């Protein structure tokens, strides 16, 4: 395959793997690798639980796909998979009658079990992907406010995020992908019903150090209190891409089991507040969207993984 082409990961209800193109213009230009990243400075409210375990996957030469342009370092070092939290299958009430029009009507939705990464994809994790594929880094890659290893990677398009999921799937044998809106909201709620935020109904200004956080960029992941499922930074830090196409009126026609979003559209759905938005911490039901090719400095993502049924 040509440079920058990766196999598309499978989604529910689809068979086969179709390649899609990932831009790698000016591929010979050098970019920062993992070893070139500066060390993270833990924030004052960092928790001991922020140091998350990793599942190690040893990569042998024969296991590296032909399309992957791996560096010698990437071949030697075991690939760490994200620390995953299992989200049980079940029904939940999706949406809100207290939010914006696109969050209604509230409707009951069943979501199959899945596993979600405990944190947003970090600069360090994304650097391994860049080293492996040979793609150019996103904008702001060298910005000192956005580039230490434990910060979430930002300014990635939806296509960049999907390519990362496909690469991670190929390297590990697990099926990684972006979450659907329904999966993201179920995970953010932490198994509770009817609450506005992951912690309850108290306003974001009640959170520790709220007024002093996010001055120049997102925080290193895993510093704030996790939700009831053990997920960090849900509804905050960076907007997170979802797999769905966005439609404001989708809830009126959404299926009640594993909704995947509209079949087509012009904007991709995203969830959560962000460090530079006026809404730093969003409600669990809040929806947002931008065109999939956009690369904003407050947009990142986290991955989910299909569990064996």
pLDDT in tens, 93-102: 999 999 999 9
Indicate if the pLDDT at residue 1 is higher than 90: no
Residue 279 confidence (pLDDT): 87
Residue 78 confidence (pLDDT): 62
Indicate if the pLDDT at residue 244 is higher than 60: yes
- pLDDT, tens digit, 9 for 90 and up, residues 174-209: 999 999 999 999 999 999 998 999 999 999 999 988
Residue 263 lies in a domain: yes
Residue 47 lies in a domain: no
- Domain coverage including residue 85: 81-306
- pLDDT, tens digit, 9 for 90 and up, residues 44-93: 333 333 344 434 333 333 333 333 333 333 343 468 899 999 999 999 99
Residue 279 lies in a domain: yes
Residue 41 lies in a domain: no
Indicate if the pLDDT at residue 7 is higher than 50: no
Indicate if the pLDDT at residue 29 is higher than 80: no
Residue 37 lies in a domain: no
Mean pLDDT calculated for residue range 248-273: 97
Residue 270 lies in a domain: yes
Mean pLDDT calculated for residue range 19-27: 36
The total domain count for the chain is: 1
Residue 26 confidence (pLDDT): 33
Q: What share of the chain has pLDDT > 70, as a percent?
A: 74
Backbone phi, then psi, for 189, in 5-degree steps?
-70, -20
Residue 294 lies in a domain: yes
Residue 30 lies in a domain: no
CATH number of residue 286's parent domain:
3.90.1580.10
pTM score, whole prediction? 0.78
Mean pLDDT calculated for residue range 104-119: 98
């Amino acid at each position: 395959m040509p440079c920058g082409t990766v196999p598309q990961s499978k989604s529910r209800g689809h068979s086969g793997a179709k390649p899609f193109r990932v831009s790698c213009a000016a591929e010979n230009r050098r970019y920062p690798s993992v070893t070139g990243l500066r060390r993270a400075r833990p924030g004052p409210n960092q928790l001991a639980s922020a140091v998350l375990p990793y599942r190690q996957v040893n990569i042998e030469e024969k296991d590296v796909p032909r399309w992957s342009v791996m560096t010698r370092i990437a071949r030697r070092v075991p690939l760490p998979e994200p620390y995953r939290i299992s989200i049980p299958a079940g029904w939940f009430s999706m949406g809100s009658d207290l939010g914006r029009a696109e969050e209604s009507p509230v409707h009951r939705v069943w979501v199959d079990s899945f596993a979600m990464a405990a944190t947003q994809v970090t600069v360090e994790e994304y650097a391994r992907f860049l080293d492996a594929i040979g793609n150019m880094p996103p904008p702001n890659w060298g910005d000192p406010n956005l580039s230490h290893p434990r910060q979430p990677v930002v300014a990635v398009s939806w296509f960049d995020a999907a390519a990362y999921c496909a690469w991670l799937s190929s390297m590990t044998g697990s099926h990684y992908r972006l979450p659907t809106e329904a999966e993201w909201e179920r995970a953010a709620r932490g198994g509770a019903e009817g609450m506005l935020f992951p912690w309850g109904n108290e306003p974001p200004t009640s959170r520790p150090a709220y007024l002093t956080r996010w001055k120049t960029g997102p925080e290193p992941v895993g510093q704030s209190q996790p939700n009831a499922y053990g997920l960090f930074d849900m509804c905050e830090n960076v907007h997170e891409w979802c797999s769905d196409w966005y439609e404001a009126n989708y809830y009126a026609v959404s299926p009640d089991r594993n909704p995947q979003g509209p079949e087509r559209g012009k904007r991709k759905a995203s969830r959560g507040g962000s460090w530079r938005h006026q809404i730093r911490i969003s409600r669990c039901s809040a929806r947002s969207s931008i065109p999939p090719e956009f690369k904003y400095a407050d947009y990142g993502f986290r991955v989910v993984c299909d569990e064996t049924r």
